[in-house]
Amino acid sequence: MTEATLFSPADLGALNLAHRVVMAPLTRMRALQPGNIPGPLNAEYYAQRATKGGLLIAEATQVSPQGQGYPGTPGIHTPEQVEGWKLVTDAVHAKGGLIVLQLWHVGRTSHSSFHAGQPPVSASAIRPPGQTMTAAWQMADTETPRALEVSELPALIQTYADATKNARASGFDGVELHSANGYLLDQFLQDGTNHRTDTYGGAIENRVRLPLEVLDAIIGAWSADRVGIRLSPYGSFGGMSESNTEALFSHMIRETSKRRIAYLHLIEARVDGGSEETVTNAPDVTATFRGLFEGPVIAAGGFTAQSAETEIATHRADAVAFGRLFISNPDLVERIRHHKDLNPYNRATFYGGTDIGYTDYPAAA
């Protein structure tokens, strides 16, 4: 058997990859307004980063208006958004690439300005720390969310199923369920944000219930081999905490494995999403949980070309997702393949704006 490398083929369910350098989902806040609709600039951005047989995971995309928490982020719940995403998928497929859509509901990370003055929702009425962004692109103190009623959850689950059908209609090759980074499904998972006393709170088996019900719904809306899930054990972004992380995520990952989905996407806690290179004392996520999932694993979180190659060679992951390096290097795959220097990224242009810091990074000579 040929030894796996970053540039050997890999199958993630129905996704047949020519190489294992994956573009991570990256919020860029450049959807057309009004309507949060992807447009030609977004199509150009993704097409620049597409390679034959390479996988792009499109930015987190709200499954409903209630799921929005940042201005300028795209949705996948209106006909206009479906048509906008077709521009993106057509452009990626024209380059021979693959693209999946990450399905998103931010939960308590949102602000009432997105919801006609109503508070955001969460597993429990626990206010997150710090500030968040309003619909007017201003920073404001976070707000105490409203705990979702059990009676509301079937409709919530259905929004994910509907979003999956819309993603398929938009031409995506699959979907990734965002159950990480302190957003809604993560808020149901972890006991720092879930103080419920009903069948969705308390015991680990109850707290994994909603994410698994959503996962089953999106599998039913498409097929398991077109579905991935992203988890962030030990992550503290968004004020998250859990009293027994290994037990919780071990149970969640074992249950996820039973679904025979396309892949599990794990975020290493080495790098905090809100800073440049904040190192934590968290255990190595892929080393801790890899053996509990029988299918392919994508690792993410501060990897370099060299550390990614090691991750693949030691079978700790089957592919590695790069984020910030893909922002500033549209030809990242070829730069890694040919050991070329990388463009530095400009954090000031990550969120919102025009083509500057978005589609104007140069490819290597």
Distance CA 237, CA 27 (A): 15
pLDDT for position 279: 45
Residue 96 within a domain: yes
Residue 216 within a domain: yes
Going through 179-316 in order, the beta strands assigned E by DSSP cover 227-231, 263-267, 297-300
Average pLDDT, the chain: 96
Q: Which domain, by its residues, includes 336? A: 10-349
Distance CA 354, CA 358 (A): 7
- What are the Cα distances from residue 227, in Å, to 101, 168, 218, 243, 309? 10, 11, 8, 29, 25
pLDDT, tens only, 148-171: 999 999 999 999 999 999 999 999
pLDDT, tens only, 278-318: 446 788 999 999 999 999 999 999 999 999 999 999 999 99
pTM (two decimals): 0.97
Question: Which residue carries 């004392």 as its tokens?
Answer: 281
pLDDT for position 270: 63
Distance CA 60, CA 160 (A): 13
pLDDT, tens only, 192-231: 999 999 999 999 999 999 999 999 999 999 999 999 999 9
Residue 360 within a domain: no
Residue 2 within a domain: no
pLDDT, tens only, 48-92: 999 999 999 999 999 999 999 999 999 999 999 999 999 999 999
Distance CA 313, CA 255 (A): 27
Confidence at 2, pLDDT banded by 50, 70, 90: low
Residue 1 within a domain: no
- Assess whether 183 carries a catalytic annotation: yes
Residue 166 within a domain: yes
Residue 167 within a domain: yes
- Annotated catalytic residue within 46, 160, 183, 351: 183
pLDDT for position 280: 60
Residue 354 within a domain: no
Q: CATH number of the domain that 100 lies in?
A: 3.20.20.70
pLDDT for position 278: 45
Structural domain tally of the chain? 1
Distance CA 101, CA 56 (A): 9
pLDDT, tens only, 172-202: 999 999 999 999 999 999 999 999 999 999 9
High-pLDDT (> 70) share of the chain, %: 96
Residue 274 has pLDDT above 80, yes or no: no
